[in-house]
Chains A and B, each alone.
Chain A
Amino acid sequence: DTAVSQTPKYLVTQMGNDKSIKCEQNLGHDTMYWYKQDSKKFLKIMFSYNNKELIINETVPNRFSPKSPDKAHLNLHINSLELGDSAVYFCASSQLGAEQETQYFGPGTRLLVL
C-alpha cells in the first residue's frame, strides 16, 4: 500500500564509492523529485522529472545523476561519494496540472559516507 517507496532505507559506505538509491511511486503521478535533507533538517530540491524528462536540475554536483526509466520510477546514482554527501535523501511525486499539486514524500534514505 506504500505510495512512495525508497530503497535502501539506510546506506553506509566509504568515500569514493558509487551508490544508487531507488524510488518507486504507485500513485499514478507524472512527476517525481529528489530532495536532500541536511543535518539541520533543511530540505532542498535536487532534481525533478516529468514524464521521464528532466524539468528541474538545481545546482548539484554532476556526480549525482538521476535516471527515470518510466513515470513510476526515479533513481539516483551518486559517483565518488564524499563526506558532505551524508544526508537523508527523499523522493517525492506529484501530478502536475491537477487541482492539488501536493508532493507526496517517501520515507527517506539515510546515507552515511565514512
Chain B
Amino acid sequence: GESVGLHLPTLSVQEGDNSIINCAYSNSASDYFIWYKQESGKGPQFIIDIRSNMDKRQGQRVTVLLNKTVKHLSLQIAATQPGDSAVYFCAESHNDYKLSFGAGTTVTVRA
C-alpha cells in the first residue's frame, strides 16, 4: 500500500483565510518530507520541505509542521490567494531520492 496519504481530498477556503492541508505517513523511517503544488495542466512545483530533525519550517506565506510521534505532516498557507488554487501533494523519502507521493488535496479559493 501507499505510505503517504492526505486526510481530505478537497478543501474550499475563503480568500484571505489561512489554509491547512494535512498529510499522514506510515513509514517511521522516512526522514525527508516535501510539499508540491500542481496547477492545472502543469507539473508539480516545489513549495517547501522539511527533514525529520526539525518539527517546523517556514517559507514565504507557508509553514510546514512535522509531528513524528503521530506521523503527521501539515502545510499551512497564510492569507490564501486565488493563485493558491491547485492540487497539493505531500511526499516522503527515506533514502534521499525515492519520493512516495500522497493522493493530493485539491484546494479551491473562494473570492
- Shortest distance between the CB of A105 and any CB in chain B (Å): 4
Q: Is the CB of B42 within 8 A of A107?
A: yes
Tell me if A18 is interfacial: C-beta within 8 Å of chain B. no
Q: Is the CB of A42 within 8 A of B98?
A: no
Q: Which residues of B contact A55 (CB under 8 A)?
A: 97
Out of A43, A96, A108, which one reaches B101, CB within 8 Å?
A43
Q: Which residues of B contact A56 (CB under 8 A)?
A: 97-98
B42-68: CB near A (< 8 Å → 1, else 0) gives 111110010000000000000000000
Q: Is the CB of B45 within 8 A of A105?
A: yes
User: How many chain-B residues does the 8 Å CB contact rule pick out?
Assistant: 22
Q: Is the interface of B mostly helix, strand, loop or mixed?
A: strand
Q: Is the CB of A96 within 8 A of B103?
A: no
Q: A40-B103, A41-B104, A101-B32 are in contact. Are A48 and B42 (CB under 8 A)?
A: no
Q: A41-B103, A56-B98 are in contact. Are A106 and B43 (CB under 8 A)?
A: yes
- Tell me the bound Cα distance from A107 to B38 in angstroms: 10
- Tell me the bound Cα distance from A102 to B96 in angstroms: 9
User: How many chain-A residues does the 8 Å CB contact rule pick out?
Assistant: 26
- Shortest distance between the CB of B54 and any CB in chain A (Å): 13
- Tell me the bound Cα distance from A63 to B44 in angstroms: 26
- Shortest distance between the CB of B1 and any CB in chain A (Å): 12
Q: Which residues of A contact B89 (CB under 8 A)?
A: 43
A-B contact pairs, 15 of them (CB 8 A): A41-B104, A42-B101, A42-B103, A45-B100, A48-B97, A50-B97, A56-B97, A96-B97, A97-B96, A101-B32, A101-B96, A102-B34, A102-B49, A105-B43, A107-B42
